[in-house]
Chains A and B, each alone.
Chain A
Amino acid sequence: MTTPLALRADAEHLAAPLPPLLAEAEHLASTVLLGDHGRRRPGLGDTFWQYRPAQPYDATRMIDWRRSARTDAAYVQDKEWQIAQSVVLWIDSAAAMRFASSDSVPTKAHRARALALAVAILLSRGGERVGLTGLRLPPRRGAAQLDQMAAILSEDDTTDYGAPEAQGMLPHSRALFVSDFLGDLGPVEDALTRAADRGVRGALLQVLDPQEEAFPFDGRTVFESMTGSLKHETLKASDLRSRYLDRLAARKDRLSSLARMTGWQFTTHHTDSPAPSALLWLYQSLERRT
């Protein structure tokens, strides 16, 4: 039951972070030099690819008379095949992503959204269609699509840990999952296998806070999840460190092997390291053809 007034206020609230987010993503995207994103094979497209001798099946109107006039044979101008790829993104917006261990590092969610938008900008500049998994924002091109994506990405989820949505992935498209992957790995596995079934390749980016990587705690401590639904009390936190780190390593290992099995890429990014390096990795892994 939302009154228009409340809706408006909500919309304002949502829209508020958009421009900076977009701007930051634009800024991030500008750091990557766009390589030629063509398909490097003849096909439908705008740019010249090659001249080849006309074959019997070529329609007459296809013959490039200007080229053919110089010789006796007839030539046909091939264009480079430019088919737009579809890339769908899933950005974890759960409460766990809103954690930042100190003021000097951004929240995981912020870093994840900035990276995702930057990738989206890059891809759409490269002529790809970008969208979100699920049914809310199917892949499309254009600036309006980016605005819309930014708006949706700005929404926060209330659950503790997010699970990827495997819906809306077109066959043989590309996908990018950005999350901390600290929650249940079951849905992730599910989504990945389903994606692999459809021939979707992509990348998994794990965004972690430095504190989650180091576990620098001592003494008697009660650990709470961001919503407070999960609690764990320990009397000597320093004793837990090694076992926590073991579990974290095991989880990364699992994600890594999952990715290998399904032909995806996996890496871990920390919020205290610079974003462009992660963006570069994303860009390259999405460009990978296999």
Chain B
Amino acid sequence: MFALGPLGFLAPWLLVGLAALPVLWVLLRAVPPAPVKRRFPGVALLLGLTDDESQTDRTPWWLLLLRLLAVAALIIGFAGPVLNPQPQREGTGPLLIVADGTWADARDWSQRSARIETLLDDAARQGRQVALATLTDPPAELVFQDAAAVRQTLPNLQPKPWQPDPQALADWAETLPARFDTFWLSDGLARDERDTLLATFEAAGQVTAFQSPRQVTALRPATFKDGEIALSAVRTPSGPGSELQLNAIGRDPAGVERQLATAPLVFEPGASATDVALSLPPELRNRVTRFEVAGVRSAGAVSLTDDGLRRREVALISGSGSAEEVDLLSPLYYLREALEPTADIIDGSIPDILLGNPDVIVLADVATLSGSESADVLDWVEAGGLLLRFAGPRLAASDVGRDAEDPLLPVRLRDGGRTVGGAMSWGEPKALAPFDENSPFSGLPVPDDVTVTAQVMAQPDPTLSDRVIAQLADGTPLVTRKEQGEGQVVLVHVTANAEWSSLPLSGLFVQMLERLAVSTRPASPDAGDLEGTTWLPQQVLDAFGNLDDGTALPGIAGEVIAESAPGADLQPGLYASEDQSIAINAISADTTLATQQWPARIPVEGLVVETETPLKGWLLAAALALLAVDIIASLAVGGRLKGPRATAATVVLAAFLLAPQGAQAQDDDFAIAATSEVTLGYVMTGDQQTDDISSAGLQGLSNTLFRRTSIEPGPPMGIDLERDDLSLFPFLYWPVIADQPMPSSDAYGKLNRYLRGGGMILFDTQDADTVGFGGASPEGRRLQAIAAGLDIPEIEPIPDDHVLTRTFYLLQSYPGRYNSRDIWVEASPADAEQADGMPFRNLNDGVTPVVIGGNDWARAWAVDQYGDRMFPVGRGQAGERQREFAYRFGVNLIMHVLTGNYKSDQVHVPDLLERLGQ
């Protein structure tokens, strides 16, 4: 292939033809355009006249140029030009194309796909057998197939949000066949296992690496340190300084996910990591669900947050109100110590605390709450709160939960409690029994030195055994729990200080609080913490940093979560168990990134592929277009562009030049027509006859308005709900027919905006002759279906004192072609009062957005082009009377639309009373 810069030619010899162009120029120039023969009797007068200019016998230069360009385009086109021709790859034998397929690939995965595609194309040209694999998800067995077949599977190849597992890779390397060449698309990150794998590949054949020199950025998990969120971003340590943006994303109070905070990530030149501290108010901080580096599409740039970052709000309330207690004896001292590092502690009275809606309320030795407090706390628990109670002398001495179960206690309590191993009692202090599997404390080690000397006792109840979540060695309950609504009530049967037991002194106390989700983990959990728990994936990350629903995936044991790195078995994402959650991120806290340096013997190619673009078609099309222009130009030069030909040429040119401007002008015309006068609109139903009647009806109403009132409407306009702007019309008439298509969601949006913005729609089901309103007519059902999506307020049958009865005429019926009383309008407020001596209530609400009825008003109003009535109404004089009232209703309706509740004002009462004859 012959190449000129980025342009290659398949048949370069044809370009020699370009040399003939100058010859063509001379030839074409010498030949004048062929003459037209005309019969013309006036020729006698022409004899002897000579042409002024000798120039005109030659083709004009621009026409020549046009033709030469056309010919040149033809020659070049047939020479087969190709933009960015790709050099052919040489090679035989089986070929392995392997991509790292990690999260670092995700950012430019489409580019990699395209590169693989071109490699496959090359392989297909050479007839090589190809196998395709990613290191993060190595296939069990490498199958070398025809390149075209492999190409079909290319879309299945997706990056994974984790790093390759060295062990799995080593196993995979064992299974590889003996001879193949390798194309290795690297993600650019240095990894230890690469060297061994590279040795394997090199042993099998030639290796070519593909790597683009670009920066990989990743975000380490967020930690909570000194009241601030500490975040650390890492990158491959090369290149100049850069500044990225960190976004904290979470749900706002309305439940919509949005960006809650941003912070700059500034990398010094050559630096590999940068730290940023984010100080957020607790309310905001607890809402953050993930951090991400803005603009980087990769799982590495997303860091999910879990309980580690959440700080629960814990309210501590103790029964002893005196401030003179010694610290160590305070019922709250140990709780405060245990919770302070991981939770926000609130003090105060119960009413104040409930306003703050804490996650947990701890009642230490509080026996009774006042009636309203108790009710409020119960409401709070049922809304999802956790009430943690500790026993104590007061609780033991009180009668709470003695005879009947108190809603704020999980069990009934026996009188007095018990004391063991004290100075005045027999027996040894009791130790704790190991936790049950069903207990939230399951898996926690029980230290030997935790003993209980006194406790409150639970009454044996049928439900007791279900509610015990920790017990002493002799089987007496130590911690009981019950579900109450969305929340739960937990009672620890000992005190929160060291008076009754040594539990608050032990590490178990903190772990138990953690398991109860009273406190949260300060750091990433270890295996011991998570032993015996099962974690269900809630959301999983894909390699591109998108969160997917993970609830369909199987649960994972706590040990696995604690120990494994993210992989196929442990997808990065958010895992939950009971009330706790753990985030598994693609990047761990100690991840560092380094650029992969390939040994000098391995050829490294870039990823960027210019796709081959054959230009032949474009050039031939250009040549054709030029020749088409040449036809018109030749006709013009030869004086033959006349009559129909000129018209056709003008039309063709105009079609090219003027086409795009039509639609806008049409919209403008519509808006101008609708707004230059008051214009009544009707909704086009798609049924020609109905639309014609609507138009004629509104024309009749417009005529009446014109004659009788100061409203002088323009001709009515039909409205296509999908296309037209409704806001131009004060009033829409909507005849509902049974087979009307449902409006689209866009149209619904427009209609709702219209109704909210003060527009009025008159729905007419045209069926009042057969059924009452809302009855089983097909039109009625259709109206219900259509109106379901509309923002229509509560409606009521039109009351006798509605303002529609007096906006222009005094009316008590609203007939159309049929005379039914069933007209529905927006309901008046329930508290509207009728003042004494007033004929109507004082209703100063807005214009009713809808009037719904079935009286077929359009037919009663309809006039034809000569102003004659189109449809009969009733019989004889009575019928004409009814038509007159139909017009009056129309006048009142339009007056109501345009003047609102003007006539509802009590100022008009005297006049109206006079007219009413009262």
A interface with B by C-beta (< 8 Å) = 96-97, 99, 108, 160-161, 180, 182-183, 209, 211-212, 215, 217-226, 230-240, 243-244, 247-248, 251
Contacts and interface: CB of A to CB of B under 8 A. Distances in A.
Contact of A235 (B32, B39, B45, B642): B32
B35 interface: yes
A27 B46 CA distance: 38
A240 B642 CA distance: 18
Nearest to A250: B45
B37 A222 contact: yes
A232 B46 contact: yes
A212 B41 contact: yes
Residue of B39, B42, B53 with most partner-chain A CB within 10 A: B42
B639 A225 contact: no
A247 B45 contact: yes
Nearest to B34: A220
Contacts of A215: 42
Given A232-B47, A235-B57, A236-B56, A224 B639 contact: no
A236 B32 CA distance: 11
Contacts of A244: 42, 45-46, 49
B38 interface: yes
B835 interface: no
Contacts of B34: 220
Given A219-B639, A235-B57, A240 B38 contact: no
Given A224-B37, A235-B32, A212 B42 contact: yes
A285 to B, nearest CB: 25
10 contacts: A97-B41, A99-B39, A99-B41, A161-B44, A219-B33, A223-B46, A236-B51, A236-B52, A236-B53, A243-B49
Given A223-B38, A236-B53, A236-B56, A218 B639 contact: yes
Interface string B101-145: 000000000000000000000000000000000000000000000
Give the interface residue-count category, chain B.
Answer: 20 to 34
B40 A211 contact: yes
Interface of B: 32-47, 49, 51-53, 56-57, 637-640, 642
Contacts of A223: 38, 40, 42-43, 46
A225 B52 contact: no
B49 A219 contact: no
Contact of A183 (B44, B638, B642): B44
B36 A222 contact: yes
Which 10 residue pairs of A and B lie closest in terms of their CB atoms, listed nearest first? A219-B639, A218-B639, A96-B41, A220-B35, A223-B43, A247-B45, A223-B40, A232-B46, A236-B56, A219-B638
A221 B36 CA distance: 5
B53 A222 contact: no
B742 to A, nearest CB: 57
A101 to B, nearest CB: 9
A221 B638 CA distance: 9
Contacts of B45: 182, 244, 247-248, 251
Contacts of A221: 35-38, 639
B36 A182 contact: no
A238 B639 contact: yes
A255 B36 CA distance: 32
A274 to B, nearest CB: 22
A230 to B, nearest CB: 5
Contacts of A237: 639
Given A225-B44, A226-B41, A220 B49 contact: no
A247 to B, nearest CB: 4
B867 to A, nearest CB: 43
Given A226-B41, A248-B42, 14 more contacts: A99-B41, A161-B44, A182-B42, A212-B40, A220-B33, A220-B56, A223-B38, A223-B40, A230-B47, A235-B32, A236-B56, A239-B51, A239-B53, A247-B45
A223 to B, nearest CB: 4
A272 to B, nearest CB: 15
A224 B39 contact: yes
B33 A225 contact: no
A180 B41 CA distance: 9
Contacts of B53: 236, 239
Nearest to B42: A212
A168 to B, nearest CB: 27
